[in-house]
Structure 1
Amino acid sequence: MTGVLEIQKSAQCWTFTLNRPDKMNALNGELVEALLQGVGDAHASGARLLVFQGVGRNFSAGFDQGDLESQSDADLLLRLVRVETLLHLIASSPCLTLAFAHGRNFGAGVDLFAVCRHRCSAADASFRMPGLRFGLVLGTRRFGDVVGYAKAREILEQTRQMSASEAVSIGLVTNLVGADERPDTVTEALRIATLLDPTTQQQLYRVLDREQADKDLADLVRSASRPGLKARILAYMSER
């Protein structure tokens, strides 16, 4: 456990709670590295279910833009590569993955939610992916896989916000779940996660795996390495 990430462990279920409520659980370098380490440890332990949630007002506000002034384009590129590494690690997990979203969620926070196999949301949640406004391609193909490419294009070209009800209708959210229903939801997910033996479960996920790790990373790097990334992000922030 670290200050920015709380990890609860049992033999079969690991729960990862993003713990930066004062920053809306934005994904800074420390939190991303803690998640990478924690998820890797869960895989090594033989866990069957991984649960992701956030404390405070929301699940995650995405890529942390709070220290941009001290970052170079190269610094930002490395941080984004580590985020993409995390997304791939979770998307290709041998475990059943479950995420709970609430409040306002943005960018890489939505991507983190979307890579999980079961995606539950509070009725008041909203989702927005503004990265294309500053030329960043992150999680775009995966979002298209989840909601369909025509719908993904419509939403992303406008970088518009989605309500929880719309997210359910397009398949981004699999179930609406209140805070008091989360324990029962985890119990049911663990039941499903352990119906098959571990080898069969992993084979199932491998056969159905649509990950394109090398292409996704290349697309991200191509977009993020275009000169002026920091300036574009700062310009976007000034417009909000």
Structure 2
Amino acid sequence: MSDPVTYSLADNVATITLNRPDRLNALSPSLFEAWHAALDKAEAEGARAVVLTGEGRAFCAGADLQPDEASKLDPDLGVTIDKYYNPMIRRLAALDIPIVTAVNGPAVGAGMGFALAGDIVVAAQSAYFLLAFVNIGLVPDAGATWLIAKSVGRAKTMELALLGDRVPAGDALAMGLVNRVAPDDQVLPVATEIARKLAAGPSVAIGMIRKQVDAAMDSDLDTVLEAEKSNQSKAGRTKDFREAVTAFVQKREPQFKGE
């Protein structure tokens, strides 16, 4: 039996792959456990960026509703959400390193939420997004309500959530759900190249930027100004900032170390 999540590290980029292709990478307790272990490894090995993708023809089909997995679900689905889904979404948001999602195929239900949890989202041309919950009598989870509403606004979020229609990658790009669309065979290379650029950057500042932007989505101007001041104080003390100033004076490209 193959691992439900695979992990590799190269050029300071950790690639985490949801690896249940026979189930379209549907979510299960064992997958979440392996996913957390992969993130633990990425942090322990000093990764400076993460690429999240799926094995096979899908990114993630959402919850595994096949009888052998569905039987393991608590009758109160909120318990399952609280035990598996929410901790992962919160962990991804709390990471100090950026996440690039390579959406190699359909991202459905909770899979759509996890796909959009990336700081940069690259979708394959054949991929689509489907907020499928209403089609089975459920409500959006895995942070999808917040992630989509913050990206495209109330009207479009209502349309996606209430109608449960597919959103092709090109439409997702046009409405601002994803950052880029790439040919199917290039989605992972494109995402990896973006991650490498991020990994070679000033990691402390990048980690603060991702959290600062998310916090700004729910904050007033004064709160944002205070956060900017606090983070700038920290960023201004980093070795990377000193290296950038030195490189500017010496008229060369800075060599960031993530310190």
Category of TM-score, reference length = shorter chain: 0.7 to 0.9
Which residues of structure 1 form unaligned runs of 5+?
Answer: 213-240
Q: Please say if residues 102 and 191 of structure 2, whose CA atoms lie closer than 8 Å, have aligned partners that are also in contact.
A: no
Q: Please say if residues 88 and 211 of structure 1, whose CA atoms lie closer than 8 Å, have aligned partners that are also in contact.
A: no
Task: Supply the distance in 1 between the matched residues of 2:23 and 2:159 (Cα, whole angstroms).
Answer: 29
Count of residue pairs brought into register by the alignment: 209
Q: Which amino acid counterpart does residue 63 of structure 2 have in structure 1?
A: F
- Pairing partner for 2:91 from 89, 114, 127: 89
Q: Residue by residue, what CA displacement relative to the aligned partner does 1:179-215 show, whole Å, maximum 9, x if unpaired?
A: 442325412331134222x222222223222399xxx
Task: Supply the distance in 1 between the matched residues of 2:130 and 2:89 (Cα, whole angstroms).
Answer: 17
Task: Supply the distance in 1 between the matched residues of 2:184 and 2:8 (Cα, whole angstroms).
Answer: 18
Partner of 1:73: helix, strand, or coil?
A: coil
Please identify runs of 4+ aligned residues in structure 1 that moved more than 6 A.
none
Which residues of structure 2 form unaligned runs of 5+?
Answer: 218-259
State TM-score, norm by structure 1: 0.79
State TM-score, norm by structure 2: 0.73
Q: Residue by residue, what CA displacement relative to the aligned partner does 1:21-67 show, whole Å, maximum 9, x if unpaired?
A: 11010011100111122223323433111011111121110111113
Q: Which amino acid counterpart does residue 142 of structure 1 have in structure 2?
A: L
Q: Which amino acid counterpart does residue 196 of structure 2 have in structure 1?
A: L
- Asked which structure has the greater CA Rg, the reply is 2
Partner of 2:102: helix, strand, or coil?
A: strand
Structure-2 change in CA distance of 1:163 and 1:57 (3 Å): same
Q: Please say if residues 25 and 58 of structure 1, whose CA atoms lie closer than 8 Å, have aligned partners that are also in contact.
A: yes
- Pairing partner for 2:133 from 125, 131, 134: 131
Partner of 2:100: helix, strand, or coil?
A: strand
Q: Which amino acid counterpart does residue 135 of structure 1 have in structure 2?
A: L
Task: Supply the distance in 2 between the matched residues of 1:205 and 1:19 (Cα, whole angstroms).
Answer: 27
Structure-2 change in CA distance of 1:192 and 1:11 (3 Å): closer
Q: Please say if residues 74 and 80 of structure 2, whose CA atoms lie closer than 8 Å, have aligned partners that are also in contact.
A: no
Task: Supply the distance in 1 between the matched residues of 2:28 and 2:194 (Cα, whole angstroms).
Answer: 32
Task: Supply the distance in 2 between the matched residues of 1:184 and 1:114 (Cα, whole angstroms).
Answer: 17
User: Superposition RMSD on alpha carbons, in Å?
Assistant: 2.2
Indicate the percent of aligned positions where both proteins have the same amino acid. 25
1:78 maps to which residue? 79
Partner of 1:208: helix, strand, or coil?
A: helix
Structure-2 change in CA distance of 1:123 and 1:143 (3 Å): same
Looking at both structures, which has the greater relative contact order when contacts are Cα pairs under 8 Å and sequence separation is at least 6? 1
Q: Please say if residues 50 and 195 of structure 2, whose CA atoms lie closer than 8 Å, have aligned partners that are also in contact.
A: no
Q: Residue by residue, what CA displacement relative to the aligned partner does 1:146-189 show, whole Å, maximum 9, x if unpaired?
A: 22222112211212211111111111121111244232541233
